[in-house]
């Protein structure tokens, strides 16, 4: 499944430095994060298992 938006701020992930990865806890939900949220260390939460990560 393709993720096109940052899970934290909802911004599109067309920016360089954006990442898409599977939830490290359940491995089922694909999480997208934009560059600015990564740099600022904004928390994300997996909607599937509730895992929160930096
Ligand atoms: Zn973001
Ligand atoms: Zn999860």
Per-residue pLDDT of the chain in tens (54 residues, 90 and over written 9): 577 999 999 999 988 999 999 999 999 999 999 999 999 999 999 999 999 988
pTM of this structure: 0.84
Distance 33 CA to ligand 1 centre (A): 5
How many structural domains is the chain composed of? Answer: 1
Distance 27 CA to ligand 1 centre (A): 20
- Strands 30-33, 19-22: pairing kind: antiparallel
Residues near ion ligand 1 (CB < 5 Å) are 6, 8-9, 11, 34, 37
The whole domain housing 51 covers 1-54
């Amino acid at each position: 499944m393709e993720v096109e938006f940052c899970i934290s701020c909802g911004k599109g992930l067309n920016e360089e430095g954006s990442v898409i990865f599977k939830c490290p806890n359940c491995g089922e939900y694909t999480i997208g994060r934009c560059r600015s949220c990564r740099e600022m260390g904004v928390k994300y939460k997996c909607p599937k298992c509730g895992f929160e990560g930096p």
